[in-house]
Structure 1
Amino acid sequence: MLPGLDGLRFSHWQAARREDGIVVLALDRQDAAVNALSQDVLIELGDIVERLAIDPPKGVVFRSAKPSGFIAGADLKEFQEFDRKGTVDDAIRRGQAVFQKVAELPCPTVAAIHGFCMGGGTELALACDYRVASNHGSTRIGLPETKLGIFPGWGGSARLPRLVGAPAAMDMMLTGRTLSASAARGIGLVDKLAEPAVLEDAAAALALKGLQRPFGQRFKGWASNTWPARKVLAPQMAKQVARKAKKDQYPAPYALISTWERAGGKGIQARLDAERRAVVKLAGTATARNLIRIFFLTERLKGLGGKDHGIRHVHVVGAGVMGGDIAAWSAYKGFEVTLQDREQRFIDGALERAQALFAKKVRDEAKRPAVAARLKGDLAGDGVAAADLVIEAIIENPEAKRALYETLEPRLKPDALLTTNTSSIPLDELREHIDRPAQFAGLHYFNPVASMPLVEIVQHDRLDPATVQRLAAFCKALDKFPVPVAGTPGFLVNRVLFPYMLEAATAYAEGIPGVVIDKAAVRFGMPMGPIELIDTVGLDVAQGVGAELSPFLGLQLPAALATVEPGKRGKKDGQGIYAWKDGRAVKPEAPQGYAAPSDLEDRLILPLLNEAVACLHDGVVADADLLDAGVIFGTGFAPFRGGPIQHIRAAGADALVEKLKTLQARHGDRFAPRPGWDNPLLRQPPE
């Protein structure tokens, strides 16, 4: 046992004294794959630091004993429990107090960072005198708390602006963006970079020798936090945030700016107190609770697929927008990909788009040729025989798809998987005449492939569960969230989204301006309005999905979707319901003095909620959580509301049914409550 630590028994921290006199405290949280800061971990650290303060060593290095990374942040499950018990204030106080003890240690302290360093891990590093980071590409440092509806509460928001200057610090916290080790070094968050093998030695050497930060960084840390600077910068920051998030929907960024503006020039304890009060208040909001719930939903989706997908070579048939982009993304993520179409010009266009993706995503120019080489045009379809996974992405026509499968399946390897990117056709219609239906499934991506995080794994009654597991693992390797869904028309996302888009098109046909319709949806929290969305996905695509879903849902296509003029399919043609310029919709202003109908928001949103209830009732997904996750990540449904089912619970299922009945009486039977509103799950308190 080390001097000063006699009598202490550690469950999570390992303490060792090096020959150079530096004490190394390594975190290895008991019974956990990754390090997260629970209250037990913090209490133990507090006891250790108190003892070290009595008889200080030459220096202290904090590191992780786990190969996966430094510290992933606070234990969010424990945080949820504190929220339920009303003890968040106690938890915030404890974390701040422990890290302040670290900051006040009468010896140099250094954080040795490798792998992920997030949230509370970064806050511990900020409490140290210095930070050394592994220059390995896996190192990422961040304070992502605003994505959870709060902001750094264990001293991060109090310390970072003083260290790197307010503009860089606030940008990092407001966006939740993570930084590479070199980027963190560039803003002054990290003092030195080191090879992984000598990380601890480099940290110990820094503790012994110290470091004088450049005058420019020290001046920036002081000047950007003065009263005049805060008064100038805070409104500018709030204005930038307002472009992306509304204060009543996402209060955390605004609270962070306000707290810094009021207290950023005070002493450390006053800054910590202001931080704590603001974070405790935010933690009790519905937004924070919903965003934390969504975090756990993402963890569940990641866990659906293991690592063993057995897929190396992907063959994509169809080089249109979806097929070409699926092929490019697969190549970017490390798979060998061959891309087939009936004409070389379609393949060439897809390869050009792929080069643009690689130029954007692969910042190291020297690595781009290797990425590009993984994607090959394949007019003759020779790649089918070598493929582990074939993805069909041709036109939405059942006969054409079945004819293609007849030519593909005889050439497949015995263990190869055949999938379709159909967006709405029931798989029971497609699996007929397939010799190996157990290895046939839907793999439904969303447009644009590079930015939409969801992939629906579409099932049918003769599908082998092992195929679903392999496809889920493949999605995980693509950094996509897989959601298994039933193979009924529209699956989950399009089935829920279509009534919403259809009602928007109906309202537009009635003469309600598109810009008014879009504003109503955005005001609710949707990422873009439904009229703009129709143009973005393409009126031709919307028409195809509508033709498949309308009979199933008993709905009628309005004129805007019933006939689509050539060259006016939306964004891709530069003209649809709106004109498009430089990738942006040109929206005509509403007539002066125009007042939107009072029930417009209900007309748009309630059909979506109505169909979500029907999907849950019909077993399209396994449970309500998967439904909420699928609709959030597949449509962008207002994350701060927690998903359709969570929103129904918060708004009151009975009240929403009454609203549907009112709309039914006013506008027609398309608003009739769908089966499933009597589900007790809808009347539980919001999670």
Structure 2
Amino acid sequence: MIYQGNAITVARGLKDGSDAIATLTFDLKGESINKLSSAVVAELGEAVAAIRAESGLEGLVIGSAKEAFIVGADITEFHGMFEQGAEQIEAMLERVHGIFNAIEDLPFPTVTAINGLALGGGCEISLATDFRVMAESAKIGLPETKLGLLPGWGGCVRLPRLIGADNAIEWIAGGTENRADAALSMGAVDAVVPGEQLEDAARDILARAQVGELDYQGRRAEKNGPLGLGPIEQMMAFETAKGYVAGKAGPHYPAPIEAIKVIQKGAGESRARAQAIESKAFAKLALSDVAFNLVGLFMNDQVVKKKAGQYEKQARPVKQAAVLGAGIMGGGIAYQSASKGTPILMKDIKEDAIELGLKESRKLFAKQVERGKFSTEQMAERLSNIRPTLSYGDFGNVDLVVEAVVENPNVKGKVLAEVEEAVGEEVILTTNTSTISITRLAENLKRPENFCGMHFFNPVHRMPLVEVIRGEKTSDPAVAVTVAYARAMGKTPIVVNDCPGFLVNRMLFPYFGGFNFLLEKGADFQRIDKVMEKFGWPMGPAYLLDVVGIDIAVHAGEVMAEGFPERLAQEGKSAVQLMFDNDRLGQKSDKGFYAYEEDRKGKPKKVSDDDAYALVKQVVKEETAFSDEEIIARMMVPLCLEAVRCLEDGIVGSVAEADMALIYGIGFPPFRGGALRYIDAMGVDAFVEQAERLAEELGPLYAPTERLRQMASSGETFYASKAQD
């Protein structure tokens, strides 16, 4: 044994007895995956030093004993690292560059055997070796831009020299995970083989390098020298890419453009200088709010997944599901279940509704075929997982039912009572509702303990969140099975307690309340939309209401006003109500706050409409001029305060879940990290001061809770500290 650590071992010899070959194996004890924490990186430095000191070696294979190769750096350390400042961050990067460079400079050929995921730092380690062999099922990539960062351990330097600037920009700016065949075609890896042949392939490459058939020294010279692009080639490669990537990334996500600039600045430099450019840019991004919030988002996502995983461990699997109601929503649910491998019955009382649901499912599958996600054969196989029916006769083997009929408590109550009679005593019943109390719907059920909410967001195939709503009598097993089914559908379930609007709509409707106040004060709704889109929302409130449906918003608003009259009941008619009264239902009727025309692709395109302005004018009580900052405050404060109340009322179990529900459910700007992180970023005291000032003018919707006032005075935050959240 050359080296033995907690995560890394280095031994001489391969299975064929080649004693002159060293094998460095990543196998982090106590973990299911390999990740590069500061401790593991320190071990790697020690291991490389031990290899350099060992005599008689003629080659090195780097591999993994786990299912994945290395999934990247240990992101739990990032916030603490960011707090140390630019100088310390650059010093850390310099140490890592020194270790990776030492691997690259070993006096014999080196190869990485990539058996599974090789992401971020895992990919960058492989780039430091002369060659790479990859299992057919493995994936490789540099996803750092998704965290608001860029590859900082040599990825921006080595990858362009290996696969060309254009390809490297695509990988790095896009943050993609790339399949083995794509990596091979681009030249990122040298061979792709079945997993069981990985060591043989690595040994073969080393043997060919040792006899001069493969020029490993030439490989190094290419990676260590300038990129080799002329001025015109550089301009075409980088300036064109900047324009395209800027359009895709948008103004709030600087990392992809910064990565292109790093590749461009380092293109004519040697390894040392190019790495210094990379380190400086990484440190700059690491100190930005965007990177801090996106890393926090990743951490929150891990919390949500862990909680869901704990429920899943307690659940029996759903082998056969059913959906009641075969409209657009039912068809979307059926598609999602079938596409992820869980067979589903789709029941309705009308043949034309069944056909509508099947049409929706076929359309979604066809789009996946167009995108290359499924073959035609796979589409046919998955489509056969959806079985339409007009009766309950086929429900004998169902494990879970999703009721997705019209949003009416009487209709839903009747349908749920019917299906309860038709299924076994262990079957879990769920309702897809956005507003109706789960406890209320359970009143007429014989087994209310087997019933909970399963709120999908529209469109089902795109929106990642599912709210699993616990009623007063819902049992833990019912919640666990529903969470497990949501996960099997590829969704992110968050368990919440029953209340008007549950979690997401309860937080959203105060936002709409702020919108109504602005309209009453004479604000232009198109300007509000533009300001909030510039703030980071995918669409402004008027456009969002049109997309959701004005009728749905009116109904949900009534439920919310009844549940929280002090904050959400409104005197007189709102602009939304006037739109409804005049049959302006949004996109579904081609007119709402905007009018809608078909664009060249047949999709609805919003245009300004004088009739909408005439209706809105009826609610204006006074004409007021607002700055962009005032519009943002009047929109965001009510939403953030409702998130605080949901946490205090126990509707949601954690800060992380509240913030992730907003991001996954309604597109809260990810780079801002969520409502509670937004309050922390502003400062709880500054937020409370702003809210109290608005509450004096606008009333209870803007009034901070007593607990929030206490947090402001004591200096508390929602996320314990930047280094610990």
Q: TM-score, normalised by structure 1?
A: 0.91
2:616 corresponds to which residue?
none
Q: CA–CA distance in 2 between the matches of 1:48 and 1:442?
A: 53
User: Would the aligned equivalents of 1:515 and 1:587 in 2 still touch at CA under 8 Å?
Assistant: no
Q: CA–CA distance in 2 between the matches of 1:92 and 1:323?
A: 51
After TM superposition, give the deviation of residue 377 of structure 1 in Å. 1.4
- Match of 1:133, SS? strand
User: Would the aligned equivalents of 2:496 and 2:503 in 1 still touch at CA under 8 Å?
Assistant: yes
* Structure 1 vs Structure 2 CA RMSD: 2.8
Q: Is 2:100 the counterpart of 1:121?
A: no
After TM superposition, give the deviation of residue 72 of structure 1 in Å. 0.7
- Match of 2:709, SS? coil
- Given candidates 400, 417, 429, the residue that maps to 1:418 is 429
Q: Is 2:466 the counterpart of 1:459?
A: no
- Match of 1:683, SS? coil
After TM superposition, give the deviation of residue 354 of structure 1 in Å. 1.4
Q: Is 2:580 the counterpart of 1:564?
A: yes
2:292 corresponds to which residue?
289
Distance 1:347 1:226, change over 3 A: farther
1:279 corresponds to which residue?
282
After TM superposition, give the deviation of residue 155 of structure 1 in Å. 0.5
- Given candidates 416, 437, 448, the residue that maps to 2:459 is 448
- Match of 2:468, SS? strand
1:577 corresponds to which residue?
593
Q: CA–CA distance in 1 between the matches of 2:604 and 2:139?
A: 33
Q: Which letter does structure 2 place at the counterpart of 1:655?
A: A
Distance 1:531 1:439, change over 3 A: same
1:398 corresponds to which residue?
409
User: Would the aligned equivalents of 2:148 and 2:290 in 1 still touch at CA under 8 Å?
Assistant: yes
2:234 corresponds to which residue?
230
Q: CA–CA distance in 1 between the matches of 2:534 and 2:228?
A: 34
1:259 corresponds to which residue?
262
1:603 corresponds to which residue?
634
After TM superposition, give the deviation of residue 475 of structure 1 in Å. 2.1
After TM superposition, give the deviation of residue 597 of structure 1 in Å. 4.3
Which deviates more, 390-399 or 108-117? 108-117
Q: CA–CA distance in 2 between the matches of 1:72 and 1:400?
A: 49
After TM superposition, give the deviation of residue 494 of structure 1 in Å. 0.6
Which deviates more, 77-86 or 313-322? 77-86
Q: CA–CA distance in 1 between the matches of 2:63 and 2:393?
A: 51
Distance 1:607 1:184, change over 3 A: same
User: Would the aligned equivalents of 1:231 and 1:261 in 2 still touch at CA under 8 Å?
Assistant: no
Structure 2 unpaired stretches of 5+: 614-623
- Match of 2:580, SS? coil
Q: Which letter does structure 1 place at the counterpart of 2:591?
A: Q
Distance 1:370 1:222, change over 3 A: farther
1:13 corresponds to which residue?
8
Q: Is 2:364 the counterpart of 1:357?
A: yes
- Match of 1:382, SS? coil
Number of corresponding residues = 673
Q: Which letter does structure 2 place at the counterpart of 1:291?
A: L
Q: Which letter does structure 2 place at the counterpart of 1:333?
A: K
Q: CA–CA distance in 1 between the matches of 2:585 and 2:104?
A: 60
Q: CA–CA distance in 2 between the matches of 1:549 and 1:225?
A: 61
Q: Percent identity?
A: 34
Q: TM-score, normalised by structure 2?
A: 0.87
Which deviates more, 438-447 or 91-100? 91-100
1:288-333 Cα offsets, whole Å, 9 max, x none, are: 2221111111112112233544211110011222221111101111
After TM superposition, give the deviation of residue 509 of structure 1 in Å. 6.8
1:628 corresponds to which residue?
659
Q: Is 2:669 the counterpart of 1:638?
A: yes
Q: CA–CA distance in 1 between the matches of 2:73 and 2:173?
A: 18
2:619 corresponds to which residue?
none
Q: CA–CA distance in 2 between the matches of 1:224 and 1:522?
A: 41
User: Would the aligned equivalents of 2:226 and 2:270 in 1 still touch at CA under 8 Å?
Assistant: no
Q: CA–CA distance in 2 between the matches of 1:95 and 1:571?
A: 53
Q: Which letter does structure 2 place at the counterpart of 1:470?
A: V
User: Would the aligned equivalents of 2:392 and 2:422 in 1 still touch at CA under 8 Å?
Assistant: no
1:539 corresponds to which residue?
550
1:477-556 → structure 2 map (5 Å cutoff): 477-504=488-515, 507-508=518-519, 512-554=523-565, 555=568, 556=570
1:116-168 Cα offsets, whole Å, 9 max, x none, are: 111111111111112111112xx221211111121111111111111111122
Which deviates more, 522-531 or 398-407? 522-531
Distance 1:35 1:107, change over 3 A: same
After TM superposition, give the deviation of residue 469 of structure 1 in Å. 2.1
After TM superposition, give the deviation of residue 646 of structure 1 in Å. 1.2
Q: CA–CA distance in 2 between the matches of 1:535 and 1:451?
A: 18
Q: CA–CA distance in 2 between the matches of 1:270 and 1:526?
A: 39
Distance 1:584 1:95, change over 3 A: farther
Distance 1:364 1:133, change over 3 A: farther
Distance 1:104 1:411, change over 3 A: same
